[in-house]
Structure 1
Amino acid sequence: MIWMCIEIEKYKQEHNYDFSNYFDSSQIDDDAEALLNDFLSNPNYNLKLDKRKVPIIELAKIMGFKIYTAKFKDRNLSGTIGISKKLVNRYKSDKVIILNNQDTDEHILFTLCHELAHYIYDYESNAHNEYSNTYRTNEAINAKEMRANRFAASLLMPKESFKEAYSELSNNIDDKNIIVQGLSDTFNAPKTAVRIRMKEVLNV
């Protein structure tokens, strides 16, 4: 079995390694925040928020991933995840995420979170040791992709922190576009994802 960090192993164990019918958006929201807090509270990791920014790359490394960026021929391909012992010779790791360096920094981080969601929910570590997924911006959205997007937004923009940041901005600013930009800057998140998150969390 490919190694898995204790926080993810515990989470999977709590759900009997079965997320086949686990699609409740509100629960995924809560789970992402709880998982993040588990990582932040582990003194061995020495993780800290940069103001409200979540250390996504460091989190991925703790989960055992090597992260690369590359220029993809397919411009709609935002990222790919691979889990296999066969990757070790080429990448010195059995867990790899490759991200499109043509995307904005904010979109790259969102894609990284999206692929981590697939690792948590769709990689069946107790059944086989290989998994791959590609994330394309133009692909049809099925239930698993919607779940990965919801988890990604929840991890990048934790619900309670997002509410607080919105409240701070909206107290002084009336222009929604400026608020969206402010939240994007605060969380290093794509503006499209911020707008969706505002509807999900705040109904605005």
Structure 2
Amino acid sequence: MDDLKSLAYEQAINFRDKHSLGNYCAKQLIEIIDLLQITERVPIKIIRTVFDNENLSGFIGFKKGTFIIVTNTNHKLGSERFTIAHEICHLINNRTSIKKNPIIEVLSCDNNDPKEIRANAFAAELLMPKDDIKEQLNTLTKNMNKDITSSIIVQLQQKYGVSYIAITKRLNEIGVIDNKKQKELEEIDFDSSALENLTKNLGYTNELNVPSKEMYISPKDLENIKVNYEKCHTTYDDLVRIFSYLGCGPEKFGYENNLQITDNAIEFMKSLSK
């Protein structure tokens, strides 16, 4: 198991170096996916949308020659970023299996699947590099002469652009804190108002600690949808199906909302909400 994680860490380090990403790349994940289309020579799309199922973090699938990463924006932004990084690892390593079956990520799933362990380790090292986070922690604690507090975790969280829990897990993973200290530090995460107040008192916004609830599809894909619709290559029913994946209707993106749709399109919309 340790060998598997070490392999994932090395892959993340090489990946970050190959694409000149630096140590703080959480905000670059959409751009990284665009880069992967070139380096991996495969079409990739990302859809960010609100899932009714709170336990579903996201999934990666394959349809009509394109790999599609879908993430749940009903999760905290910091957590959603980790999911995207996790799916990038699957995209690099597991394309053959993805073509056969989508990989669905379930929140708090105790998964011993080697592919999941590797993807988690890759995401952790990609977003929170071991050597760098140790260096940052030494600076904040005066070379470990100060106690690691929730304030320090928040500062690291903001530095790396991930969730509060991702930082505590990472510090445990690299041997800086033990299970008892991790549990103690994570108590504040169960009190959203306390974490928000601490975050704002330290001069940061609270965006990493709350769901973005965004509905995102790339501008290029939106333009292609628009062109095809205007040229009558797709119908309004097709628009309904496409935007249903985002959990909304065509009117959300500026299309008329008074056009009649067929019973088939209505049934399709209902099937996605189950």
Q: Does the CA-based 8 Å contact 1:33-1:159 persist in structure 2?
A: no
Alignment partner of 2:9 out of 26, 29, 32: 29
Q: Supply the distance in 1 between the matched residues of 2:3 and 2:61 (Cα, whole angstroms).
A: 23
Alignment of 1:108-187 (within 5 A): 108-124=80-96, 129-143=99-113, 144-171=115-142, 174-187=147-160
Higher alpha-carbon Rg: 2
Q: Supply the distance in 2 between the matched residues of 1:192 and 1:178 (Cα, whole angstroms).
A: 13
Aligned CA distance change for structure 1 residues 27 and 133 (closer, same or farther; 3 Å): same
Q: Corresponding residue for 2:79?
A: 107
Task: Give percent identity, aligned residues only.
Answer: 28
Unpaired runs of 5+ residues, structure 2, are 38-43, 178-274
Q: Corresponding residue for 2:172?
A: 199
Residue 53 of structure 2 is aligned to residue 83 of structure 1: no
| 1:97 CA drift (Å) | 0.9
Aligned to 2:119, the other structure's residue is in SS state helix
Aligned CA distance change for structure 1 residues 170 and 52 (closer, same or farther; 3 Å): farther
TM-score by length of 2: 0.55
Q: Deviation per CA, 1:72-129, whole angstroms, max 9, x where unpaired?
A: 121111111112325xxxxxxx12111111111111110001111112222238xx95
Q: Supply the distance in 1 between the matched residues of 2:62 and 2:24 (Cα, whole angstroms).
A: 30
| 1:39 CA drift (Å) | 1.0
TM-score by length of 1: 0.72
Q: How many residues align?
A: 167
In proportion to residue count, which structure has more helix? 2
- Structure 1: 4+ residue segments shifted above 6 A: none
Q: Does the CA-based 8 Å contact 1:78-1:136 persist in structure 2?
A: yes
Q: Deviation per CA, 1:111-157, whole angstroms, max 9, x where unpaired?
A: 001111112222238xx955521111043312322221111111111
Aligned residues: CA RMSD: 2.5
